Amino acid sequence: MGLLDGQKGLIFGIANDRSIACHIAKSFIAEGATCGFPHLPGEKNERRVLKALSAIEVADPWVLPCDVSSDEDIDNVFAATKEKFDSIDFVVHSLAFADRTYLKHGMFAETPRDVFSQALDISAYSLVAIAKRAKPLMTRGGSILAMTYYGSQKAIPGYNVMGVAKAALEASTRYLAAELGEFGIRVNSVSAGPLRTLSSMAVGGIDEIFDWVSKKAPLRRNVEAGEVGKTAVYLASDLASGVTGENIFVDAGYSVVGL
């Protein structure tokens, strides 16, 4: 018996086998879930997603192109999902984007208006746009989960505009939780410690962050992506039936330490 037996849903955000979304997919499938995988459009991107899914032995993967800055793309994904699954139980939002030029210490005040808007649009508004389309398909209630980082709450050098986007994302989970709770839909976020992925490599000074966390976090190490996957399973499962609007840190305890 898996914790997610019979559950169906979408996992947004696989780019390659290092993506947090890929680790979440592995954990969800091991617990019995059936998933669709919307990914950034483009043949090369699709090939990488299929390769990542084959590495975790997903049989017959269902992948769909979706640039979340396009309402039309999101509409198409949910129309196809309605046709394929009829109803869904979960959506995982594991994606973000900001122009890396401005993800360096000393560059936050330089952030141009269009770079700021794009980061907030792709990394935060997309959760609202996705939740709107997920709601009518979550006929038995459901779980929506977003991925965030501690840079939403503290100014972490180099995280810059992405920290502002994550603050908006976390606030959006609370507002969505308050509004969708009456339909049995829970909305939460997981705040992961630093992990080596394509996105984190764009953050200036990331190696220093890994080093610092491994020395100062209560568990004296960095977190592993599989640990984020396990917490995501918990949040999507009935074990978390009373949990909504929460942000759960999976960061080896780093966020509780003041130094």
The 8-class DSSP code of residue 248 comes to E
Q: In terms of CB distance, is 5 or 201 closer to ligand NAD?
A: 201
Site string for ligand NAD, 77-106 (x = CB under 6 A): -----------------xxxx---------
- C-alpha distances in Å from residue 17, one per residue of 21, 155, 172, 222, 225: 9, 29, 28, 19, 11
Return the bridge partners of 11, or none.
Answer: 92
Give the separation between CA 155 and CA 153, rounded to whole angstroms: 7
Q: Is-catalytic flag, 150?
A: no
Site for ligand NAD contains 20 (CB under 6 A): yes
Active site includes 149?
A: yes
Find all residues with CB under 8 Å of 182, minimum gap 6, and list them.
none
Binding segment (CB under 6 A) for ligand NAD, from list 55-63, 137-145, 194-202, 233-241: 194-202
Which of 102, 149, 234, 254 is flagged as catalytic?
Answer: 149
Of the pair 40, 217, the CB lying nearest ligand NAD is at 40
Angle at 243 between CA 242 and CA 245, to 5 degrees: 135
Dist CA 208 CA 41 (whole Å): 33
Contact region with ligand NAD (CB under 6 A), list: 10-18, 53-61, 76-84, 136-144: 10-18
Tell me which of 4, 11, 14, 137 binds ligand NAD, using CB under 6 A: 14
Determine if 40 is a binding residue for ligand NAD (CB under 6 A). yes
Report helix, strand or coil for 112: coil
To ligand NAD, the closest distance from the beta carbon of 55 in angstroms equals 14
Token pair in block for residue 124: 């935060």
Structure tokens at 237: 């499962």
CA distance 240 to 233: 9
Q: Does 69 bind ligand NAD (CB under 6 A)?
A: yes
State the catalytic residues. Answer: 149, 159
**Interacting residues toward ligand NAD by CB under 6 A:** 13-15, 18-21, 40, 66-69, 94-97, 122, 147-149, 192, 194-195, 197-200
